[in-house]
Copies of this chain bind each other. A is one copy, B any other.
């Protein structure tokens, strides 16, 4: 069946999330398919930051830590993320970066499984996650970082495995692991599962409790629209909180932060995972994004996002066939996240040509063009238009320009 723009418009007319588009700052006419890399600013952010600077920091100064809820922000904001990932509010905290949180929880997994000396991760895991595990392995004598081919990952879990560490939705292929299945396979061997939800949170209706998940981390600046370098989050299931030990011990995670005791005593709860003083500005922007996200039904968010991605794939199949685009990852929506990637011999130049025409995707080495379908501000008609522009660029070979081939450091 061939789909016309009018069909896409009809889908927009009944889109229960359509009203959210007006809540974002986005340049007119731009089709932003990179919210999986950096979400756009919710309109509420500018006013919220102005208030934090002028109304809190500038007026109440140091007293703001109590008066304006700064002290509670890591756990309060964590509680809001918990509602998006099927966790209890007291199981999530916001702190540090995703990388640092992964380091903390991978070390934490070792503390929960003493005697086990293997961390297992798929060979194609997000590079920075592997780097964090390599950093940990460099510190802990005898720790083996076992890298498995993705299709052999589950069978590679054994009685020496402390934790399997993997990204729920693959940053390039969009392949979605089954949270419950992998977690159960880990548990069957007495191991833990540590999930990176960076490409899931705010996109898919994750249910960590249903999956009996142990540990998770994730990013604030993709689908949560929390701003560039937004603080990240971490999840520790309640049943692990009394035993887990973080190696990054700081005053915010102390049982009594203001007692200034000579030695560290961890807080008995998720706060033990908060180490140094958190970025109040970063937390404020993230919380504004979360307050918006929480107005949307997570099931509707997932359904719309998958529908947009499916629409893009279908239209590319119909209209861009024969131009060398090779879809990465599985074809079925149930096994994907909300971004869609294609290998193309001219992937880099193609992304540049699209940007020049107002369609922002991104490039991932060596040859991948990636497009994210964030449900809160994208319309079906925009997806239709993006494919039409892509088709035109491919048919006219408009990407075939020297200046499009010249790589900058980031796209």
Contact = CB atoms under 8 A, between A and B. Distances in A.
Given A231-B279, A277-B98, A139 B140 contact: yes
A249 B99 CA distance: 8
Interface stretch (A12-20, A126-134, A326-334): A126-134
Interface residues of A, number: 89
A37 B245 CA distance: 29
B98 A100 contact: no
Contacts of A127: 251, 254, 260-262
A190 interface: no
Contact of A251 (B131, B227, B248, B275): B131
Contacts of A99: 248-251, 275-277
Contacts of A263: 130-131, 134
Given A41-B57, A250-B99, A227 B135 contact: no
A409 B277 contact: no
B38 A61 contact: yes
A97 B66 contact: no
Contact of A131 (B34, B37, B140, B249): B249
Nearest to A125: B262
B38 A128 contact: no
Contacts of A100: 96, 100, 248, 250, 275-276
Given A61-B34, A100-B100, A281-B281, A71 B409 contact: yes
Contact of A232 (B57, B63, B276): B276
A156 interface: no
B365 A258 contact: yes
A123 interface: yes
A221, A232, A246, A264: residue with the most chain B Cβ atoms closer than 10 Å: A264
A365 B262 CA distance: 12
A100 B249 CA distance: 9
A252 to B, nearest CB: 8
A324 interface: no
A107, A221, A231, A250: residue with the most chain B Cβ atoms closer than 10 Å: A250
Interface string A56-76: 011101111110001100000
A345 interface: no
Given A97-B250, A282-B279, A123 B262 contact: yes
A259 interface: yes
A362 interface: yes
Nearest to A123: B262
A54 B62 contact: no
Interface stretch (A1-9, A43-51, A385-393): A43-51
Given A100-B96, A139-B140, A249-B131, A409 B123 contact: no
Interface string A213-255: 0000001010000011111100000000000011111110010
A138 B41 contact: no
B96 A97 contact: yes
Interface of A: 25-27, 32, 34, 37-38, 40-41, 45-46, 49-50, 53-54, 57-59, 61-66, 70-71, 96-100, 103, 107, 123, 127-128, 130-132, 134-136, 138-141, 219, 221, 227-232, 245-251, 254, 257-264, 275-283, 285, 355, 360, 362, 364-365, 408-411
